Copies of this chain bind each other. A is one copy, B any other.
Amino acid sequence: MRRRSIGVNFNEVGIASIRVWTPHAKRVLLRLTNRKADLPLEELGYGYWELITGQLKPDDNYQFVLDDKTLPDPASLFQPEGVHGPSQAVDLKDFTWTDNKWKNPEQDKYIIYEIHTGTFTPEGTFAGIEQKLDHLVSLGITAIEIMPVAQFPGERNWGYDGVFPFAVQNTYGGAKGLMKLVNACHHKGLAVILDVVYNHIGPEGNYFNEFGAYFTEKYKTPWGNAINFDDAWSDAVRGYYTENALMWFRDFHIDALRMDAVHAIKDFSAKHILQEIKEAVNRLIEQTGKQHYLIAELDLNDSRFINPIDKGGFGIDGQWVDEFHHALRVTAGGERDGYYSDFNGIKDLAKSYRDAYVYDGVYSPQRLKTFGNKVEDNPGQQFVVFSQNHDQVGNRMLGERSSQLSSFEMQKLMAAAVMVSPYLPLIFMGEEWSTQSPFQYFVSHSDPELVEAVRKGRREEFSAFRSEGEAPDPQAEETFERSKLNWDDINSVMLDYYKTLIQFRKQLPALSNLNRKNLAVSYDENRQTLLLRRWQHEQKVYCLMNFSKENQPVNFAGNKRLKQVFNSADQKWNGPGVVNSLQPQSIIIYTN
């Protein structure tokens, strides 16, 4: 099978081909760092340079010398000494996969569990995650989603400051560590989604400008100049990211990618880069017969991204729907500042159950413009929803979770509201046992100016909240340590509650089938109640939710044959008990 078209690749007899794109260099050398040898690359055309040699061996350190600059490989697979050190050659074939019986589930079977490798376990490594797979299997989720693992500066980072998109973070366990985890997941029946960042490159250890036009000045993003997807020389940059997506699927057996903030990918090309990646992935799927999904974090409410290519879409398989979260949080009585100010509670939650997007061509006061278009024939599995995720928790000043912000009853109601949705549910690590650990923003840069800038940015972002205390220092190791899950504080009632909910979702066809047409929603703004009805063939499921702090009557007429099968107010979930009405902040599920 085709290997990477850039970086280092070893053939079957151990000969390395080394390729790098750097169109303006006059001379390019491969420096064998430990052996003090320099080998010249030859120009191939279109700015690519190549060397085929037996002298570079797996695990050798190397650098490129462009004219007079010595730099790591932009397509490095390993940075043993971090982002500023040399690259290390890795033979991606050198791993014994035993997951040949694994089959990626159908997309609508995904129940996703988001993990930050560094804080999920005390070890903060892939090996640490592997120790917890039995916990995840017994919880019932079907896929883990790992926050970005591309090499970032230092040892502590959410992952969005990665500067080597092909290199797996050294402190997490590197490429082989990730392969071992994926292999183990597949043995346990878990799919693996990897979060990848194609919209920006981190600020420290970013040597891309030395190589060529990886960035363009045409567009601005919140993180500086946009990555060059449509300006001169963009073919190489597009190829770089397409190659990256293929590598995870082909060489790491990753089942799906979660592509970070694709709204910050600025591309006016006749073929959008996401479509180009999708087409490349489709070719890979044809070759291997193995299914892979692309899921985008998308804040444009533009169904073009997820529509099929033959309908003029980009063909992306799914997307996150933050608006479901925002509507749910406001309904649950959360704050209404910032982006929450656009959300009107239960009415918008109902809208999102029905149409996924809340803003689908209507005026958004917060954005001061009309926003979004309509989701038409897209099935429910194209949308990922959640009541918490790393951003929604971690972008609070103190990184508090629902466990610290909402009552136990409301936490249960929100969990169920997600799990009965016609979309793919996502749980943020620890949510399932109502963990008390915060998830705060942390970095470990080595550039003092950058550290100060990040601190300052963080302070300024939360200046309005000064009365609530000081924002934690993102650079401090304690901030990271504080954010680690405490596996000794498991609330077993909540854990059992989540397990039961997930079982319900899997077992009731009316819940597990994600045909959005078999669905109806009604709500009562005064009572703050919402009735979600879903059905599949003969089965009906009614989910009656009460977001108010009062008891509310159960009155849906003509459905006497429905029986209560789940009640979040049940005493077994530490609730106030089952009564003939809806308890405050509770959900009842009925079926026939």
A372 touches B270 (CB 8 A): yes
Query: Does A60 count as interface, using CB distance less than 8 angstroms?
Result: no
Decide yes or no whether A204 CB sits under 8 A from chain B.
no
CB-contact partner of A270 in B220, B235, B270, B361, under 8 A: B361
Q: In the complex the two chains form, what is the Cα distance from A217 to B271 in whole Å?
A: 25
A311: which of B301, B312, B369 is its contact (CB, 8 Å)?
B312
Let me know if B232 and A303 touch, CB within 8 A. no
Q: Decide if A300 touches B270 in the complex (CB within 8 Å).
A: yes
Q: Which residues of chain B come closer than 8 Å to A363, judged between CB atoms?
A: 46, 235
Partner pick for A232 among B217, B263, B304, B369, CB 8 A cutoff:
B369
B residues near A302, Cβ cutoff 8 Å: 269-270
A residues 166-194 near B (Cβ < 8 Å) are: none
A292 to B232, CA, bound (A): 37
- Chain B residues near A217: list those with CB within 8 A: 220
* Set of chain B residues within 8 Å of A313, measured between Cβ atoms: 312
Would you call A31 an interface residue if the criterion is a C-beta within 8 Å of the partner chain's C-beta atoms? no
Kindly identify which residue among B219, B270, B371 contacts A219, using a CB–CB cutoff of 8 Å.
B219
Interface residues of A in 308-337 (CB under 8 A from B): 311-313
Q: Which of B46, B219, B270, B369 contacts A303 (CB 8 A)?
A: B270
346-383 of chain A: CB within 8 A of chain B = 361, 363, 367-373
Is A307 on the interface with B (CB-CB < 8 A)? yes
Complex alpha-carbon distance, A268 and B298, angstroms = 13
Contacts of A233 in B (CB 8 A): 368-369
Interface residues of A in 252-271 (CB under 8 A from B): 263, 266, 268-271
Residue in A311, A313, A367 whose Cβ sees the most chain B Cβ within 10 Å: A367
Check if A17 is an interface residue, CB within 8 A of chain B.
Answer: no
A206-218 toward B: CB 8 Å interface, digit per residue (1/0)? Answer: 0000000000011
Give A220-244 interface residues, CB cut-off 8 Å to B: 220, 230-235
Bound form: Cα–Cα A46–B234 in Å:
40
Asked if A373 and B270 sit within 8 Å, CB to CB, the answer is: yes
Closest residue on chain B to residue A303 by CB atoms: B270
A304 vs B363: C-alpha distance in the bound complex, in angstroms?
26
Give the residue of B235, B268, B369 whose beta carbon is less than 8 angstroms from that of A231: B369
| A residues at B contact (CB < 8 Å) | 46, 217-220, 230-235, 263, 266, 268-271, 300-304, 307, 311-313, 361, 363, 367-373
Between A and B, 19 residue pairs with Cβ closer than 8 Å are: A217-B220, A218-B219, A219-B219, A232-B367, A232-B369, A233-B368, A233-B369, A234-B369, A235-B363, A235-B369, A269-B302, A269-B371, A270-B300, A270-B302, A270-B303, A270-B371, A270-B373, A271-B373, A304-B312
| Extra contacts besides A218-B219, A219-B219, A233-B369 (11): CB < 8 Å | A230-B369, A231-B369, A232-B367, A232-B369, A233-B368, A234-B369, A235-B369, A266-B268, A270-B300, A270-B372, A312-B313
